[in-house]
Amino acid sequence: MIRSVNLTGGIAMTVRREVQIPEPEVHRNRNHSRSRRLLMAVVASTAFLVFAGSASALIIVNSPHGSHATGNLTVSAAVWTTPSNELSAPVVAISGGATSGSGNFNDIFCTSPIDCVAVGGDNSLDGLAAVSTDGGGAWAESDVASGLPDLNAVDCPSATSCVAVGVAGTSTSNDGGATWQPHDIPSANTTLLSISCASVSTCVAVGVSPGNAGPYFGQLLLSTNSGSTWTVPTLPPHVGALGSVDCPSPTLCVAVGDQILVSVDGGQSWSARFVNGGTGALRSVSCSSSTDCVALGPNPDGLINANDGAFEIVSRDGGATWNPVSTPAGSWTLTSIYCSGGSNCVAGGPALSSASTALLLESSDGGTSWNSQHLTGGLSSIGSMSCPSASICVFTGREGTNAIVSGVNGGTQSATSSVTSVVTVQNGGAQ
C-alpha cells in the first residue's frame, strides 16, 4: 500500500507499507497472523530522514539547533488513544534481530560472566526467552506465554528479577528468566524497543506508536513495581520515536531516538536536550556512570559513501550537555553500544556488505576514540551486547541466516554458538 502524506512544512512524502530496504541491514518484514503493519517513509527530501535499518525507523528533522520531533500530533502525558488507521502495534526492524521465517535473539543481558538472559522472536515472530549458565555457550528456552508477540529488549536488575519489553506489552520473571508472566501497557498499539531498570522496582521503557498521518511518535513508560504495571510520566510536547534508554542511577535516565530526553528524577519527568548540528538517528545509549553517557546510531549516508562513520554524541555531565564525536571511517552501520567500568565501551553493528564481517569496536576512553576488534569471517551482524565484566562482552548476531551468540574475552573473540534450534519455534511448538 502506498500513499502520500503531508508532513510539517507542507512537504509531501511517500509512505510505503512493508517495504524492502536494501542490505546490509537486517529487517523484519512480518508475515504473521496478527495484523501488524509497518509504516515507513521513503526518503524524499534532505529535510526529512528515515533510517529503517535502525530499530526505531526514525523520522528526523535536521536543524542547526539540534534534532527535533516532527509531526502534527499532540502527545498527551495522561491519555493514549489508538490512531484511527492503526489498530495494532507497529512492526519495527531491529538490526541483527528476529525476522519472519528466521528467529533470533533481539537482546541479551548478563548478570554475571556466566549467567545470561536473552529475548527475541521465533520463526513466526512469537516471543521467546532463553537462559544460559555458561556465558552464552549453551541455551535453555524459557517458559513464556503461548502466542506472546516478539520481545525486543530485556534488563535484569538482579540475579532473579528480569523485565522484558516488546510488541504491545511487557513480561516479567522472578526466577532469573526461567519463567515469564505477560503484562499489559497503557497503549496496546505500541512497540517497546528498550528498557532500563535502575533498581528491582523502578524501570523505564521506550518505543514507538504510529501517527494518524505519517511519522511514528515516541512512547515512554515508567514502572515502580518491577514491571507489573506501567504509567506515562510527564513528557515534553511532540515526542518523536525513541529507540533506547539507560538509567545508570536511581535519579538519572537518558532516552534517545528522534531526540534526546533526560530525566533527573528517576523517570518521573523528562526534558529535551539538543546538539548543535543535529544528532542523526540515535539508536543506542549507554551510561557507564551517573556522569558519562554515549549515544550512537547508524549513518544512512553510508549507503552512498561507505567510508562514512556512524553518528556519536557524548555527555560528561549527566546528560546536561552533549557533543558530537567522530567515529572511524566505514563504521556507519553501528547500531548498539555498551559502556561499563567508567571508560570501557563496545559498539557493534551489521557488516558493511555481504562480503565483509560485522563491525565490533572497542574504546578505553569513554567513546572518544575507537579500535576495531578482529572478528572471524562469516559473522554478518552484531545485534545487542552485554558486558558483565571489564574484560568480557557477550553479543547476539547472525552468521548469514544462522542465529548466533558470541563475544569477546580479554580482546579475543569467544567461540560462536548457534542458537538457531533454540529460536526456531517458541516453547518447542506451543503456540
Residue 422, helix vs strand vs coil = helix
This prediction's pTM:
0.80
What's at 214, amino acid-wise? G
Which phi and psi angles does 422 have, rounded to 5°? -75, -35
Mean pLDDT of 213-221: 81
Q: Could you give the angle at the alpha carbon of 386 between the alpha carbons of 382 and 391, nearest 5°?
A: 105
Residue 329, helix vs strand vs coil = coil
Q: Cell match 506465554: residue?
A: 145
Residue 298 CA to residue 171 CA, distance in Å, equals: 29
Average pLDDT, the chain: 79
Domains of the chain in sequence order: 104-424 (2.130.10.10)
Q: What is the pLDDT of residue 214?
A: 60
Q: Which of 24-28, 276-280, 357-361 has the lowest mean pLDDT?
A: 24-28
Burial 322-345 (b: 16+ CB within 10 A, else e): beebebbebbbbbbbbbbbeebbb
pLDDT exceeds 50 at position 424: yes
Residue 114 CA to residue 132 CA, distance in Å, equals: 7
DSSP-assigned letters across all residues of 129-148:
EEEESSSSSS-EE-B--TTP
Residue 182 CA to residue 205 CA, distance in Å, equals: 15
Residue 20 CA to residue 7 CA, distance in Å, equals: 22
Q: Using an 8 Å Cβ cutoff, are 63 and 278 in contact?
A: yes
Mean pLDDT of 69-92: 45
Residue 327 CA to residue 329 CA, distance in Å, equals: 7
**Which band of pLDDT confidence, cut at 50, 70 and 90, is reported for residue 60?**
very low
Give the chain's end-to-end CA distance (angstroms, integer): 30
**Which band of pLDDT confidence, cut at 50, 70 and 90, is reported for residue 88?**
low
Q: Using an 8 Å Cβ cutoff, are 242 and 283 in contact?
A: no
271-273 sheet: strands from edge to edge: 242-246, 253-257, 260-263, 271-273
Q: Could you give the angle at the alpha carbon of 208 between the alpha carbons of 153 and 387, nearest 5°?
A: 25
CB atoms within 10 A of CB 161: 22
Q: Please indicate whether residue 271 or residue 189 has the higher confidence score (pLDDT).
A: 271
Mean pLDDT of 121-150: 94
Q: Using an 8 Å Cβ cutoff, are 22 and 28 in contact?
A: no
Mean pLDDT of 232-248: 93
Cα–Cα distance list, 92 to 30, 89, 321 (Å):
9, 9, 29
Mean pLDDT of 159-188: 93
Q: What is the pLDDT of residue 354?
A: 80
Sort 4 into a burial class: Cβ within 10 Å, 0-12 / 13-18 / 19+.
exposed
pLDDT exceeds 60 at position 45: no
Which phi and psi angles does 301 have, rounded to 5°? -60, -20
Q: How do strand 323-324 and strand 58-61 relate by DSSP bridges?
A: unpaired
The 10s digit of each residue's pLDDT in 290-307 is: 999 999 999 999 999 999
**Which band of pLDDT confidence, cut at 50, 70 and 90, is reported for residue 429?**
low
